[in-house]
Amino acid sequence: MKRLAAALVSIVALGAAPFAAQGKATKSLEIYVIDAEGGKAVLYISPTGQTLLIDTGNPGGRDTDRLMAAIADAGVTKIDYLISTHYHSDHVGGLEPLSKRIPIEHFLDHGPTVEGPVTALREQVAGFQAMYAELSKGKRTVVKPGDRVPITGLDVRVVTSAGAVLKTPLTGGGKPNPACAKYTPPTEPAANWSTPDDDQSVGTVITYGQFRAIDLGDLLWDRAVQLMCPNNMVGTIDLYVMTGHGTDITSASALTDGIGARVAVMQNGTRKGGQVAAMQTLRLAPGFEDLWQLHWSYNAALEGNSPGLLIANIDEAATIADVLTAPPRRGGRGPGNAAAAHTPAYWIKVSARPDGTFTVSNSRNGFSKTYTQRSAR
């Protein structure tokens, strides 16, 4: 126990000293990956000042406060476009309280729910569909693969929606994906592993000059493989906003190998997501460099987590040691059980230039790393 605590102190200490960024563009695409503790909320600010928010985190207002903190830091006064990837509580739960604190101009989604009132399943956020219909009236667009979100200076393209995937490749896409030949899908259908709306997720590719990011919400492995096999429809990616909080069900080597991302940001919680197989699959992808995490993951334990420099939120070393060494018990707080909300909550920020160079920063410790332009695509 003492040796484990000492090792954890060393790991956390790596993230304690701030490092200066290698450079900052005067006109950049700014991306705030906000801590929703296993939920999702990502804010994009274009060089022209327009805003795109993808998802709003959990119900209850906690994540809304965290969103508003990032919005204030960015100097944002309205949300031009809000994409709700799908209707699960950790993705849309914060929408109603957020709408009371900042104007939202346009609402984008995959269309009718496949859960809640349409099937025998209950809505994860009670009354959400009725509230959303009223809130978005006259300002709502149901998107399909191939659609563009009209943000000046960016090319924001929908690549998945309502269970459909892109059929006409993006620039740089459409080539055969060698990773498909070696990919072995799980024997059990993805639909058996999760709730139906995950595979309805609105997925987007966001391009600023030579910089490209992909965000697929909670898209399961089956739809991801359809997007990538036999041809990679999206091409090469720089930043991968890791699908499904880093869960195995959303992980497929055909995707991670195919897009060849240099960097990923994982929106995990301490006990949600951050699963070993998903993280290992990502790290084995050709050209992959760094995985940045919103939380130190108890699921990944000592061997699977990134260095502390790249993790936005980390429990005290003694707390981690206690959880990892405690035997699981019913009603206890061993791995897999919910923890109290993390305070303060730190975000990870990405600043991207049109030449393809981008800097990722950890607001907890001030550490930044710049990834220079790729020599060739």
Q: Cα separations (Å) of 295 from 21, 268, 319, 333?
A: 22, 6, 14, 17
Q: Is the pTM of this model over 0.75?
A: yes
pLDDT in tens, the chain (377 residues): 444 444 444 444 343 333 333 333 348 999 999 999 999 999 999 999 999 999 999 999 999 999 999 999 999 999 999 999 999 999 999 999 999 999 999 999 999 988 877 777 788 999 999 999 999 999 999 999 999 999 999 999 999 999 999 999 999 999 999 999 999 888 776 666 668 899 999 999 999 999 999 999 999 999 999 999 999 999 999 999 999 999 999 999 999 999 999 999 999 999 999 999 999 999 999 999 999 999 999 999 889 999 999 999 998 888 888 777 777 655 433 333 445 677 889 999 999 999 999 999 999 999 999 999 876 55
Peptide bond into 344 cis (omega under 30): yes
Has residue 60 been placed in a domain?
Answer: yes
Instruction: Tell me what pLDDT residue 328 has.
Output: 61
Has residue 371 been placed in a domain?
Answer: no
Q: Which of 265, 111, 264, 124 is nearest to 194 (CA)?
A: 124
Has residue 377 been placed in a domain?
Answer: no
Instruction: Tell me what pLDDT residue 374 has.
Output: 76
CB 117 within 8 A of CB 133: no
CB 306 within 8 A of CB 296: no
Has residue 356 been placed in a domain?
Answer: no
Q: Which of 231, 229, 276, 288 is nearest to 251 (CA)?
A: 276
The structure tokens 């900042």 sit at 102
Domain total in the chain: 1
Has residue 194 been placed in a domain?
Answer: yes
Q: What phi and psi values does residue 349 have, to the nearest 5 degrees?
A: -120, 140
Has residue 373 been placed in a domain?
Answer: no
CB 239 within 8 A of CB 350: yes
At residue 289's C-alpha, the angle toward residues 288 and 293, to 5°, is 105
Has residue 22 been placed in a domain?
Answer: no
CA separation for the pair 294, 311 (Å, rounded): 6
Query: Containing domain of residue 222, as a range?
Result: 2-17+27-351
Instruction: Tell me what pLDDT residue 209 has.
Output: 96
Has residue 201 been placed in a domain?
Answer: yes
CA separation for the pair 266, 251 (Å, rounded): 12
| DSSP β-ladder status, 148-149 and 263-266 | unpaired
Q: What six digits make up the tokens of 43?
A: 């804010």
Show the DSSP H helices in the chain as ranges.
Answer: 2-13, 62-74, 89-92, 95-99, 128-135, 179-182, 221-228, 253-259, 276-283, 301-304, 317-325
| Residues forming beta bridges with residue 141, ordered by sequence position | 108
Q: Which of 348, 332, 177 is nearest to 255 (CA)?
A: 177
Look up the CATH number of the domain holding residue 283. Answer: 3.60.15.10
